[in-house]
């Protein structure tokens, strides 16, 4: 069995690391290897300032080495990965990485080239509204990366054109787009709703039973519509923050009908995220995680079946 490779792409501070760590926790850390494409920057922070170039620009990254390493990982071969230290803005010593059952590649430019995209089994793009992303970036960069608020806002303004041109453009290549968002009447740090765009590039589970049961409410907590996105048929699954735990449980039961292994997911780890040192739970995050993990296990099952048929 070769590794199953998941790509998690999004702009800076969209929750890539949070969702990648959560999925690794659910599948089992011993079965998951997480690699950040930010490690493949060509220049450190000071060099980028001198050259007046942004890490968001493809020319500021070793895209070709990323492609080579993804090719090796998909074959089950080890790599010697560079390591970019976000705290210092410099590079640490490279690390020897042996791929495990699942490999998660998260970062800014994972879907930039055709060769990169071709190596992923499942491609996920994180797309929160911009005001929420700004809040997350301010919180993270001022508390963990040593920036001042004015510096972060200046960086965001300077990067906007590149974000639109190179980062957001990758949405069109994704299989699943995850959009966490707050209610209009609530602050951005409240419990979040989630909209999942499930593209026709993957076969998705039938969740009509849960949706139909929810439609009897005056304000249904789960809604499902079908439309087109970037010229492809897409299911739009919208889940509000007041979704009930029983509904989440039922979604898991439906997924288990397709993939029995999902029954053994550690429920206590579903939807868990940290804020500071506190562990918090989100039902909408749990649903997003389950649907992503479902796709990984479907891929694993298909590959295992093919191998058994061959031998």
Tell which residue, 201, 253, 194, has the closest CA to residue 19. Answer: 194
User: 105 or 277, which is more confident?
Assistant: 105
Q: Are strands 102-107 and 32-36 parallel, antiparallel or unpaired?
A: parallel
Question: What is the pLDDT, as a whole number, of residue 14?
Answer: 95
Position 102 pLDDT exceeds 60: yes
For 221-244, b/e burial (b = at least 16 CB within 10 A) is bbebeeeebeeeebbbbbbbbebe
First and final C-alpha spacing in the chain: 13
Q: What are the structure tokens assigned to 144, written together?
A: 């963990």
pLDDT band with cut points at 50, 70 and 90 for residue 280: confident
**β-bridge mates for residue 9, sequence order:** 107, 125
Question: Which range (167-176, 217-226, 282-291) has the least confidence?
Answer: 217-226
Structural domains of the chain, with CATH? 1-125 (3.40.50.300), 175-296 (no CATH)
Total residue count of the chain as it appears in this document: 311
Residue ranges of alpha helices (H) inside the chain are: 16-27, 45-51, 63-74, 114-117, 130-143, 149-162, 208-214, 245-258, 283-310
For 112-149, b/e burial (b = at least 16 CB within 10 A) is beeebbebbbbbbbbbbeeebbbbbbbebbeeeeebee
Question: What is the pLDDT, as a whole number, of residue 222?
Answer: 93
Position 34 pLDDT exceeds 70: yes
Position 214 pLDDT exceeds 80: no
Question: What is the pLDDT, as a whole number, of residue 11?
Answer: 96
- Going from the C-alpha of 176 to that of each of 38, 272, 288, 289, the distances in angstroms are 21, 20, 10, 11
User: 309 or 172, which is more confident?
Assistant: 172
- For residues 238 and 221, give the distance between their C-alpha atoms in angstroms, rounded to a whole number: 8
16-27 vs 283-310: helix crossing angle, rounded to 10: 60
**pLDDT single digits (tens) 134-156:** 999 999 889 888 889 999 999 99
pLDDT band with cut points at 50, 70 and 90 for residue 268: confident
Q: Are 194 and 128 in contact (CB under 8 A)?
A: no
**β-bridge mates for residue 180, sequence order:** 194
Q: What is the mean pLDDT of the segment spanning 2-7?
A: 97
Q: Count CA atoms closer than 13 A to 189's CA, side-chain side.
A: 7
| 62 phi and psi angles, rounded to 5 deg | -85, 75
Q: Cβ of 310: how many Cβ atoms within 10 Å?
A: 6
Tell which residue, 123, 29, 115, 47, has the closest CA to residue 84. Answer: 47
Question: What is the pLDDT, as a whole number, of residue 218?
Answer: 63
Task: Name the one residue in this structure whose structure tokens are 């640490």.
Answer: 92
For the chain, give the mean pLDDT: 92
């Amino acid at each position: 069995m070769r590794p199953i490779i998941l790509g998690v792409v999004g702009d800076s501070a969209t929750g890539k690391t949070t969702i990648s760590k959560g999925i690794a926790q659910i599948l089992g850390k011993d079965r998951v290897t997480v690699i950040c494409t930010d490690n493949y920057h060509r220049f450190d922070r000071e060099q980028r300032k001198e050259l007046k170039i942004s890490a968001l620009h493809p020319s500021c990254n070793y895209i070709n080495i990323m492609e080579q390493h993804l090719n090796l990982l998909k074959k089950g071969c080890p790599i010697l990965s560079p390591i970019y230290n976000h705290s210092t803005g410099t590079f640490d010593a490279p690390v020897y990485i042996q791929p495990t059952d699942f490999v998660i590649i998260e970062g800014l430019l994972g879907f930039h080239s055709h060769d990169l995209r071709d190596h992923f089994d499942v491609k996920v793009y994180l797309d929160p509204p911009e005001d929420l992303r700004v809040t997350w970036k301010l919180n993270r960069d001022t508390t963990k990366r040593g920036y001042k608020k004015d510096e972060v806002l200046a960086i965001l303004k300077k990067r906007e054109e590149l974000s639109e041109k190179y980062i957001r453009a990758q949405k069109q290549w994704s299989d699943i787009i995850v959009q966490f968002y707050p209610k209009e009447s609530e602050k951005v740090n409240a419990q979040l709703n989630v909209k999942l765009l499930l593209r026709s590039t993957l076969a998705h589970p039938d969740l009509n039973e849960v949706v139909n049961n929810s439609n009897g409410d005056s304000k249904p907590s789960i809604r499902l519509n079908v439309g087109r996105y970037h010229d492809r048929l897409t299911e739009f699954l919208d889940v509000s923050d007041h979704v009930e735990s029983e509904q989440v449980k039922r979604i898991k039961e439906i997924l288990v009908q397709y993939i029995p292994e999902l029954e053994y997911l550690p429920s206590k780890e579903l939807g868990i995220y940290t804020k500071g040192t506190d562990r918090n739970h989100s039902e909408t995050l749990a649903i997003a995680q389950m649907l992503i993990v479902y796709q990984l296990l479907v891929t694993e099952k298909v590959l295992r079946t093919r191998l058994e048929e061959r031998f």
